[in-house]
Amino acid sequence: MNKYLSLSPEVEAALSAGRPVVALESTIISHGMPYPQNVETALRVEQTVRDNGAVPATIAVIGGKLKAGCNKDEIEYLGQKGQAITKASRRDLSVLLARKADGATTVTTTMIIAAMAGIQVFATGGIGGVHQGAQQTFDISADLEELAQTPVMVICAGAKSILDLGLTLEYLETKGVPVIGYGTDELPAFYTRHSGFNVDYRIDTPEELAVSFRAKTDCGLKGGMLVTNPIPEEYSMPKHIIDKAINEAIKEMDRLGIRGKQCTPFLLAKVKELTGGDSLAANIQLVLNNARLAALTAAALCQIR
């Protein structure tokens, strides 16, 4: 085993017994929501995974260890420290490990650590992608490169709606990443069920998701699979409202000269402010929805022989 990798006893026992495990990221705890809602949500997500037949593995870098399975105290620590903890992408891991430092894992690093641990299914909120104006800035999330090379199924509510969704889909197509709509032909856009863009394939059951992913890995095809699971109808925000808030947030970000890894936290916080908190409530519900589907899919994957 990688000397930097540390599995919780529960996760290690589940993997050894062939029971379903679902990876969960920690950036959503430290950078995605305010305290204490971040901790409360993380624990609710873990419980949702358990209620649907799988073991949760919240992933983070703590004290220079790649943790697959954080305990309650560690989740509390990540939530209280918040943005003081490094938002850790692939480029950050080696230095954080060498310094025995902490890191909140993005989609990219959660995929890396999940694959090291042997966890095949990962639930998150939304993936990063190609940012608006990337033709000039080259601002493209490392999440897309990781999906192209790391064999983990990522279940999300689509790409974050602050992104250029059309270019994000084009990039994924170039990298050979299948984009699946769970129960939908249309790419969901995080806070809203509608984007105006089509997915590659529609799949309607966790069992078919599992069979499709197993076929991909059995054939030795590199990379992961992106499953986009629409936010439940009752929590979906009207597209014109969220689009207006995003456009205002982007103008403010440009005015302030915010760039790089600070873009997404700024935009999410600004959109929350502009929507009177509605976007945060939607964010919580979509993560719970993804955790439920991930647990059912991980359980179905364990049944394939």
Distance from C-alpha of 68 to C-alpha of 45, rounded to nearest angstrom: 15
Residue 25 falls in the annotated catalytic set: yes
207 is catalytic: no
Of residues 76, 87, 146, 160, which has the active-site annotation?
160
**CB neighbours (10 Å) of residue 111?**
28
**CB neighbour burial string for 234-261, b if at least 16 within 10 angstroms, e if fewer:** ebbbebeebeebbeebbeebeeeeeeeb
Q: Which own/partner pairs from 182-187 qualify as long-range (CB within 8 Å, at least 24 positions apart)? A: 182/155, 182/209, 182/227, 182/228, 182/229, 182/230, 182/293, 183/229, 183/230, 184/228, 184/230, 187/158, 187/159, 187/228
Residue 194 to residues 5, 172, 202, Cα–Cα distance (Å): 39, 19, 15
One-letter amino acid at 174 equals T
Phi and psi dihedrals of 107, rounded to 5? -55, -45
Catalytic residue among 12, 25, 46, 76: 25
CA 301, 230, 105, 129 dihedral sign is positive
Backbone angles phi, psi at 156, to 5 degrees: -145, 180
Catalytically active residues, by annotation:
25, 160
